[in-house]
Amino acid sequence: MEQHGAGSLKQRSEFWNPNTYTYRCLDETRRLWELQKSQQVYNLTSAQAATILGRIYFANGMDEMGWTTWTYALELAYRLELFAKVAEYKTEKDCVSRTLTAWGIFSQQAYKLTRPLFFPS
């Protein structure tokens, strides 16, 4: 949310204020996120978005939303088999995309997560 660094925007840190760009952006993002979840879309960009959204929620003190989103990111990673011991890739682009996404999700654990990890059965 680049609005935090824009000194010309008044009340830019008030993510709870419906008159700010941050609120509007997060509100629309949440709406699209819920739509995608309701349609059971499981793809790489969903896992990437969940990781980023979780970080945004944590940064804004919205830990409950952060944990919900982060748990879903991990669920998607497992559904997509991003942490599989042996992965099969169709193309080099697929290999790079999936590997970077897996490392991105994994690295977030070291940065923020202090709760036990979610491991689906």
Q: State pLDDT tens for residues 4-18.
A: 555 555 655 565 677
CB 103 within 8 A of CB 119: no
Q: Rounded to two decimals, what is the model's pTM?
A: 0.72
Would you state the structure tokens that stand for residue 27, as one six-digit string? 């509100």
Residue whose C-alpha is closest to residue 46's, from 24, 21, 19, 74: 74
* Cα distance between residue 21 and residue 18, in whole Å: 8
Q: Convert the pLDDT of each residue in 65-121 to its tens digit.
A: 888 888 889 899 999 999 887 777 889 998 899 999 999 888 877 665 555 555 555
List, in order, residues 6 or more apart from 71 with CB less than 8 Å away.
Answer: 118
